[in-house]
Structure 1
Amino acid sequence: MGTYLITGATGAIGAAVAEMLHEDGHHVILTGRSAERLDATARRIAGDTGGERVRTLVLDLTDPRQIEPALGEAELPPLDGLVHSAGGIRLGTVEQLRPGDWLDQLLVNTAAPAELTRLLLPSLRAARGHVVFVNSGSGLRSKPAWSAYAASKHALRALADSLRAEEPELRVTSVFPGRTASEMQRQVRALEGEEYDPDEFMSPRTVATVIVNALRTPRDATVTDISVRA
Structure 2
Amino acid sequence: MITGASRGLGAAVAAALAPTHTLVLAGRPSSRLDAVAERHGASTLTVDLADADAIPAAVESVDELDVLVHNAGVAFPARVAESTVEEWRTTMEVNVIGAVALTLALLPALRAVGGHVVFVNSGSGINASPGLASYSGSKFALRSFADSLRNDEPALRVTSVHPGRIATEMQEGLVAYEGGTYDPSRFLSPETVARVIADAVHSPPDGHIHEVIVRPRGHS
Pairwise TM-score range, normalised by the shorter structure: over 0.9
| Residue of structure 2 in register with 1:208 after alignment | 194
Write the deviation string for residues 82-120 of structure 1: whole angstroms up to 9, x where unpaired.
Answer: 000001001212211111011111111111111000000
Partner residue of 2:25 out of 24, 30, 33:
30
TM-score by length of 2: 0.94
Q: 1:20 maps to which residue?
A: 16
- State the Cα deviation string for residues 120-139 of structure 1 (Å, max 9, x = none): 00110011000000000000
- Bigger drift between 59-68 and 166-175 goes to 59-68
Which residue of 76, 85, 90 corresponds with 1:99?
85
> How many angstroms apart in 2 are the aligned matches of 1:68 and 1:187?
32
Q: Deviations over 1:191-220 (max 9, x none)?
A: 222222222211111001100100111111
**Amino acid across the alignment from 1:16:** A
Structure 2 regions of 5+ residues with no counterpart? none
Deviations 1:43-87 (A, max 9, x none): 22x2xxxx2xx1111211122222223334xx2241110000001
User: What is the TM-score normalised by the length of structure 1?
Assistant: 0.90
Secondary structure at the counterpart of residue 18 of structure 2: helix
Q: Which residue of 2 aligns with 1:10?
A: 6
| Corresponding residue to 2:156 among 161, 170, 176 | 170
Percent of residue pairs bearing the same amino acid type? 48
Q: Quick one: which amino acid aligns to residue 226 of structure 1?
A: V
Name the counterpart of 1:39. Answer: 34
| Ranges in structure 1 where 5+ consecutive residues have no aligned partner | none
Q: Alpha-carbon deviation of 1:158?
A: 0.1
Equivalent positions of 1:98-177 (< 5 A) are 98-177=84-163
Say if 1:64 and 1:112, in contact at 8 Å, map to a contact too: yes
Q: Is it true that 1:62 corresponds to 2:57 in the alignment?
A: no
- Residue 175 of structure 2 corresponds to residue 189 of structure 1: yes
Does structure 1 retain, via aligned residues, the 8 Å contact 2:6–2:32?
Answer: yes
Alpha-carbon RMSD across the aligned residues, in angstroms, is: 1.3
**Runs of 4 or more off by more than 2 Å in structure 1?**
68-72
What number of residue pairs does the alignment pair up? Answer: 216
